[in-house]
């Protein structure tokens, strides 16, 4: 069965990031917060349509009494379309597959605009609905009521552009050094900002955390169940240029802990993550000048 991509807004402030509602939420600054693996079904984001689908949402429209006092930002719009295009590419779709039957706003889904009568019409009143859901009917206050079509056109345009990156566009490692982790040396790489990156497998093995690599979904599944993801704004974004991988908990909803990058190595692609981000997610004590990791106290 062909999957469906649903586009939402949260009707909250710009910084509202909560798991369990959508697969990814885009905060007001345009940062994409990947909360759940795209290959798992979540229970409740698009009534009657939650199977075999992915939900992307923008944290906005939380103004009271006027939702438009917290409108979708341009950064959110750009990130929403870019993330939707990335998901479409991962499913093998091209621009011609971006249709209302495959990519829908919640307002369109609520009104059964794809021709599938999945439920009563609870969408916009102008489409004969009860008006309960009108997500992205308009992209700006008093704007045209074809928000879904506008978004699909933008996603199509992104898919028509080759996804290649030039070497200078890629996050570069500037040199190798060592840090202390649990009293022993650990080799890390430094980027241009002075941040330390380590192989995810090295960190997980050092802290005796059970894990399994899922190559088909580009994710590391972690057996630790005492971790509560923090969904920080500093999470690695696609702009680094390298393919991303995610680290997720081995649970039904596959909560995402962090994202990192895949870089080629002598024995295949290797998964790298930011050392400090890893430590913060897993409750590891951190010291600076020089950087050192202590014991794990729990997430």
DSSP labels, 192-259: TT--EEEEHHHHHHHTT--EEEEGGGTEEEE---S------TT---GGGSSPEEEEEESSTT-BEEEE
Task: Indicate if the pLDDT at residue 66 is higher than 60.
Answer: yes
Q: Are residues 264 and 191 in the same domain?
A: yes
Can you read off the two tokens belonging to residue 22?
Answer: 């959508």
pLDDT of residue 163: 62
Q: Indicate left, alpha or beta for 144 from its phi (over 0: left) and psi (-120 to 50: alpha).
A: beta
The bridge status of strand 244-249 relative to strand 4-9 is unpaired
Q: Are residues 190 and 266 in the same domain?
A: yes
Q: Are residues 154 and 239 in the same domain?
A: no
Q: Are residues 181 and 235 in the same domain?
A: yes
- Measure the CA–CA gap between 201 and 265, rounded to whole angstroms: 14
- Of 107, 134, 159, the last residue of a domain is 159
Q: Are residues 183 and 109 in the same domain?
A: no
Instruction: Read off the CATH number of the domain in which 24 is found.
Output: 3.40.80.10
Q: Are residues 244 and 265 in the same domain?
A: yes
pLDDT of residue 170: 83
- Of 114, 130, 159, the last residue of a domain is 159
pLDDT of residue 23: 95
Instruction: Count structural domains, the chain.
Output: 2
pLDDT of residue 156: 97
- Of 159, 191, 221, the last residue of a domain is 159
When pLDDT is averaged across residues 74-91 and rounded to a whole number, the result is 95
- Close Cβ partners of 37 (under 8 Å, ≥ 6 residues apart): 23, 217, 219, 246, 248, 254, 256
Q: Quick one: pLDDT band at residue 168, thresholds 50, 70, 90?
A: low
| Domain encompassing residue 185 | 167-296
- The answer to whether 13 and 62 are in contact (CB under 8 A) is yes
Lowest mean pLDDT among 42-51, 81-90, 232-241: 232-241
């Amino acid at each position: 069965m062909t999957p469906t991509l649903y586009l939402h807004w949260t009707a909250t402030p710009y910084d509202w990031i909560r798991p369990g509602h959508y697969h990814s939420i885009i905060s007001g600054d345009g940062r994409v917060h990947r909360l759940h693996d795209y290959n798992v079904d979540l229970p409740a984001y698009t009534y009657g349509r939650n199977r075999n689908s992915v939900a992307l949402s923008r944290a906005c429209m939380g103004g009271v009494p006027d939702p438009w006092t917290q409108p979708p930002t341009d950064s959110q719009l750009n990130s929403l379309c870019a993330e939707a295009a990335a998901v479409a590419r991962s499913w093998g779709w091209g621009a011609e597959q971006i249709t209302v039957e495959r990519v829908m706003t919640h307002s369109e889904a609520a009104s059964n605009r794809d021709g599938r009568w999945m439920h009563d019409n609870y969408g916009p009143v102008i489409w004969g609905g009860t008006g309960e859901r009108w997500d992205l009917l308009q992209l700006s206050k008093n704007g045209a009521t074809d928000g879904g079509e506008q978004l699909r056109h933008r996603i199509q345009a992104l898919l028509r552009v080759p996804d290649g990156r030039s070497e200078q566009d890629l996050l570069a490692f500037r040199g190798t050094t060592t840090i202390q982790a649990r009293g022993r040396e650990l080799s890390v790489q430094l980027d241009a900002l002075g941040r330390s990156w380590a192989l995810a497998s090295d960190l997980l093995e050092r802290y005796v955390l059970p894990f399994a690599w899922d190559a088909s979904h580009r994710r590391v599944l972690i057996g630790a169940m005492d971790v509560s993801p923090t969904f920080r704004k500093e999470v690695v974004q696609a702009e680094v240029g390298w393919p991303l991988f995610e680290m997720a908990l081995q649970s039904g909803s596959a909560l995402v802990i962090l994202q990192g990058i895949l870089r080629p190595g002598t024995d295949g692609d290797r998964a790298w993550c930011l050392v400090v981000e890893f430590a913060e997610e897993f409750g590891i004590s951190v010291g600076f000048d020089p950087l050192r990791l202590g014991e794990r106290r729990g997430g």
